[in-house]
Amino acid sequence: MNNFINISDLSKNDLRSIIDSAKKRKSERGKKPHSEPDADQPLKGKTMIMIFEKTSTRTRISFDLAVKQLGGSSIILNQDEIHYGKGDETIKDTAKVLSQYANILMIRTDSHNNVEEFKKYLDIPIINGLTNHGHPCQVMSDILTFEELKGDIKNKTIAWIGDGNNVSNSFIEAATKFEFKLKIASPKKYHPDADVIKIAKKNKCELLITEDPYKAASNADCIMTDKWISMSDKGDKKKKKKILKKYQVNNNIMQAAKPDAIFMHCLPASREEEVTSEVMDGKQSVVWLQAFNRIHAQKSIIEWCMK
Ligand code: CP
Ligand code: NVA
């Protein structure tokens, strides 16, 4: 059994095999209806429990469909419906109980430590469905989407423009493993986690951190951004938005990238803040395919965890 908590925990080979098997399973499935299982049903008779301490549209639905397509069943729990979420049962005791009811756990939580703590006491695999520190499932499915449209991501250039947040942390980890170039433009105050940057540089990741959005966008194969205010953000939101204003992804930024560059956003988006509607609804935008591919990448992540 394997846990999927940080991209940096996995070997290059395992990460590549997850992407390649997602491509294979997606193409073999063809146009089957969303809830119909794949022929081999590798998760038949098995259950995934999902705990959401934070809101979610895509992760919740795409994991549910992923489990169904693998032939298994899922139970979705919100924070206020369970003792652990309400604070009257420990992670240790919850983990011991869940291990007897299910075959795999997915959790979305504010505290990355909670995921690590669950891992200590679970007898079943755990998947990180977003923490304050990372969003590895999103990044794996974005790599799947990128490669579907633009081929091997190795040596390609991805530009991240805006807040240095959980998703950008996972992208930095992915850049080291998948060997793509990553240029991040954000104000100094909102750079991604210093530890993540330090490890990437030690591992010879081709990473540029700049305060200039045009320098990051220049010659990129893909422009990415995310909300300026993440679910776990606690500071002065108005002030943060003001500082990030010059990092909006608009047509000027898109024009600095390669003419055939794609635009990606993990969603949900705050239109006219981090991205204009013109870009989000424009010809270069692939945001809807990104959301769809969450199903396919996560099927592959689940299968890898169950090995
Ligand atoms: N991108 C993403 O994880 O979306 P949700 O918050 O809707 O799950
Ligand atoms: N950075 C965002 C991603 C949402 C999918 C957040 O953490 O809220």
Catalytic position from the list 69, 138, 290, 298: 138
Measure the CA–CA gap between 266 and 143, rounded to whole angstroms: 12
Catalytic position from the list 135, 191, 265, 296: 135
Do the bridges between strand 104-108 and strand 126-128 make them parallel or antiparallel, or are there none, so unpaired? parallel
| Nearest ligand 2 atom to alpha carbon 56 | 5
Task: Please tell me the residue having the least CA distance from ligand 2 atom 2.
Answer: 230
Catalytic, 108? Answer yes
Task: Please tell me the residue having the least CA distance from ligand 1 atom 7.
Answer: 57
26-63 burial: b if 16+ Cβ within 10 Å, else e:
beebeeeeeeebbeeebbeebbbbbbbbbebebbbebb
| Nearest ligand 1 atom to alpha carbon 59 | 8
Catalytic, 16? Answer no
So what's the pLDDT on residue 19? 98
* Cβ neighbours, 10 Å, residue 235: 10
**What residues are in contact with ligand 1 under a 6 Å CB criterion?**
56-59, 130, 138, 266-268
Structure tokens at 29: 């499935």
| Nearest ligand 2 atom to alpha carbon 132 | 7
CB-CB contact of 39 with 71 (8 Å): no
Write the DSSP symbol of residue 139: H
Catalytic, 60? Answer no
Query: Which three-class secondary structure state does DSSP give residue 121?
Result: helix
Half-sphere exposure of 190 (CA within 13 A, CB side): 32
Tell me the per-residue pLDDT of 92-128, one tens digit each, with 9 for 90 and over: 999 999 999 999 999 999 999 999 999 999 999 999 9
DSSP output for 191-249: PSPHHHHHHHHHTT--EEEES-HHHHHTT-SEEEE--SS-TT--S-HHHHHHHHGGG-B
What separation in angstroms does the CA of 173 have from each of 42, 102, 147, 189, 260? 29, 30, 17, 20, 25
Out of 54, 58, 108, 132, give the residue to mutate to test ligand 1, the one with the largest number of ligand atoms within 8 Å of its CB. 58
Task: Please tell me the residue having the least CA distance from ligand 1 atom 3.
Answer: 59
Catalytic, 25? Answer no
Q: Which residues of the chain have pLDDT under 70?
A: none
Catalytic, 294? Answer yes
CB-CB contact of 272 with 9 (8 Å): no
So what's the pLDDT on residue 26? 98
Task: Please tell me the residue having the least CA distance from ligand 2 atom 3.
Answer: 230
So what's the pLDDT on residue 29? 95
So what's the pLDDT on residue 173? 98
